Amino acid sequence: MIKSVASVILLFCLSLAATRVLALPADMEADRLLLAAQAKLDDQNFEAARGYLSRIDGLKVTPAPKFYYLSGLIALHYGELQKASDLLSRYVEEAGREAEFYEPALNKITLIEEQLQSQEAVSQSREQLREIKASGGIERDDTAGKAYDDKVRKLYIAPTLKDSLVLHINSLLSSYEYLEGRIKNRDTSPRLEYQVSVQGPSQLSVVRKQVDPSAGGQASLSSSSLDAFGVNPFVSYRCSKATDQCVIRHPATGADWIVIARDESAAKELSQALTRLIKALQR
């Protein structure tokens, strides 16, 4: 019995000693938690990283500037754009130009700014659509629009109007590819290829392929997706003699979206077909 009590006392003393060993001054504990959070971020474990950083808040110390950078990355991951921008800006201000993450922080602030502008543009586009509907503008245009839909259906026999419009759009994109240089030769000129598809009930996907024949036909791919629901469907374009191309503008942001060869009639037809497809996705 005495040995048992002695064992319990010994274990308690060892536990107490271990606790004292592990107890660090608050500023050093903050540094430890910051390193742990960065390690979790490197593993893409954002929830665990956020847990470590929240413990730093409880220490009531002034954390190292890196705290704000890591917190900004986590806020960005969870879509808290304004919070992420504020945190990254604070990191830049406190850490200075020679800091480890100075340039990555600035690049992310720019990215957030563009995303916020895009969200604002989408919101404005939806507001414009509501105004157009309220004024009856869509209904006035619907007669000509339905006639266009019927024309496309006859040209491209497909199960649905959406499928017919996609076939028509991709045919135009294939016929009017943008080729770089004064001498246009598909075998030697760098070119841009585009293809659209419908994903889900209202998603319009655009795949962009940049091909460079001089590099053995090496190509780089990128894609973008537009949720057609609630977006102003009217697609515009501009053609430039200086750049020898026509650019289809994104219906929500107004940014360059699709680039084709300089052909006014093709750009007009493509814009109309995209407008009708977006309208079809909104039904």
- For residue 217, what pLDDT is reported? 67
Q: Looking at the structure, do residues 79 and 152 belong to the same domain, yes or no?
A: no
Structure confidence at residue 146 (pLDDT): 87
Say if residue 91 is in the same domain as residue 209: no
* 167 and 271 co-located in one domain: yes
Rounded Cα distance, 271 and 251, in Å: 10
Same domain as 75, residue 146: no
Co-location of 67 and 147 in the same domain: no
Q: Is 224's pLDDT higher than 60?
A: yes
d(CA 220, CA 18): 56
Per residue in 84-107, pLDDT (tens digit) is: 999 999 999 999 889 899 999 998
Give residue 18's domain range.
Answer: 2-115
State both tokens at 27: 């500023």
Query: What's the total number of domains in the chain?
Result: 2
- Give a yes or no: residue 244 inside a domain: yes
Q: What is the pLDDT of residue 263?
A: 93
- pLDDT band of residue 271 (cuts 50, 70, 90) is very high
One domain for residues 149 and 260: yes
Lowest mean pLDDT among 39-43, 78-82, 190-194, 197-201: 78-82
Burial per residue of 212-250, b for 16 or more beta-carbon CB atoms within 10 angstroms, e otherwise: eeeeeeeeeeeeeebebebbbbbbebebeeeeebbbbbb
Is residue 252 one of the residues assigned to a domain? yes
Residues 264 and 180 in one domain: yes
**Are 277 and 144 in a shared domain?**
yes
130 part of a folded domain: no
Specify whether 13 is located in the same domain as 111: yes
pLDDT band at 37 (very low <50, low <70, confident <90, very high): very high
Both 56 and 158 in one domain: the answer is: no
The C-alpha atoms of residue 254 and residue 109 are separated, in whole angstroms, by 21
Res 120 pLDDT > 70 = no
Query: How does residue 19 score in pLDDT terms, banded at 50, 70 and 90?
Result: very low
**Structure confidence at residue 20 (pLDDT):** 39
The confidence score (pLDDT) of residue 32 equals: 93
Say whether both 56 and 155 belong to one domain.
Answer: no
Q: What is the mean pLDDT of residues 6-29?
A: 58
The residue with greater pLDDT, 132 or 122, is: 122
Whether 65 and 158 map to the same domain: the answer is: no
Q: Minimal CA–CA distance to 50: which of 32, 72, 82?
A: 72
